[in-house]
Structure 1
Amino acid sequence: MALYFTEKHPERVIKYVGMDNTGLDLPDPWFYELAKWPVIGEAAMKLSMPTSVDATRQLLEGLLANKSEMTADMAQELYPPLTFQCNLASQWVLERNLDWSVTDQLIPKMKTPTLVIWGKQDTIEDSSSYVQRWHQLDPQATIVVLDHAGHLVYDDQPEKVKQLLLSFLAA
C-alpha cells in the first residue's frame, strides 16, 4: 500500500522505504497462492493460524533468522489479533484482490528516492529474486540485503536497520 501510494502521489512522499516488502509481479509463495482459492484457501489459512501464544511464538520463529530475538512479549502481543475472525478473513480477501502487476509497472516511473531492506534468510520470499527484480525496475534504488536476517529483518537486525534508516532519511 505504501509503495502504491508513493507511486500515485509522488508529491506527497519525500522518500520510500520498504522492508521485505513485495509489490513486485513475482509469484507469491505457495501458501499465499493457495489462499487465493475459495474454500481451500480459507481452510488452509484457518488451519495454519496459531491457537496459542506458544504456537504464535513458533510461527514468528519461522520468520526470524535469529531465533533468540524472539521474545515472549512479541508472541503475546501478536497472538490476540490472530484470533479475530475478521483479521483472518482479511488475509484471504487481500490475497484474492492483489494485483502486483500494477505496482510493478509503476516502479520504473517512480522518481522518489528508494531504500529497500531485505533479509538474506527470508523464508517467505526469496531475497535474490526480489532484489534482482528491484534492481531491474529501479537501478537508482538503494537495496540492502542483510545477512543473519529473515522476513522480520527489523527484528533480526534492529541496529543495522536503524542505521540504514537514519542514514537514508538524513541524506
Structure 2
Amino acid sequence: MRLSLIAAGIILMSANAYANTNLGQQLSICAAKTDKTVRLTCYDALAANAKPSAHIMTTASPTKITPSVAPRPTTPAAPSAVVASPQALSVEDFGLQRKVIEDEVDKIYSEVVSIKKDALGAFIITLNNGQVWKQSSSKYYKIKKGQRIFIKTGALNSFLLGSDERNATTRVKRLK
C-alpha cells in the first residue's frame, strides 16, 4: 500500500515538473517575439490557459509545511479621491484631480513650448502654462512646437490632446 502511494506521488510530481518545463518553453517563445503587441498577445494566451493552484504552499519550518492563506480585510478600503471645492479648481490643477465635480474645467487651450520623445516613441510636451503631458496611447500623432492645442477630459478620468485644425485626438497623461 505504501509503495503504491509513493509511486502515485512521484508520478504527480513528475507531471507538475513536466508542466513547468513546458510553461518555461512557452514563455521563452513569447519572449523571443520582437513586436510588442504580438508578444503581449502571446503572454495573454498563456495566462488564459494557466490553471491557478488551489493552495499555495509555503514552508514555515524545515520540517513542517503549512498552507498560506491571505487574510481578508474586515472593512472595505475607502477610495482615495481628492476632494476640492469648485473655487479651488483651476487651469493649473487640470489633470491632477481624481474626483469629478460639476464646476470643473473640461477643456484647456495652450501652446506647445517643447517636445521630447521617450524610449518607446511617445511624445512628452511642455505647455506654455508649465504643465507637462505624456502621450499614453501608441498611435502616431503629429505635433509641432508652437502649435495651439487643447486637452479635454475623456471617459474614465482620461485626457485627450487635440487641435482645432484636426479631427483626431490622442490620449495623454499629466506628468507635472
- Which TM-score bucket, shorter chain as reference? under 0.3
Question: Which of the two has greater helix per residue?
Answer: 1
- Highest RCO, 1 vs 2 (Cα 8 Å, sep ≥ 6): 1
Q: TM-score, normalised by structure 2?
A: 0.19
Rg larger for: 2
TM-score using structure 1 length: 0.19
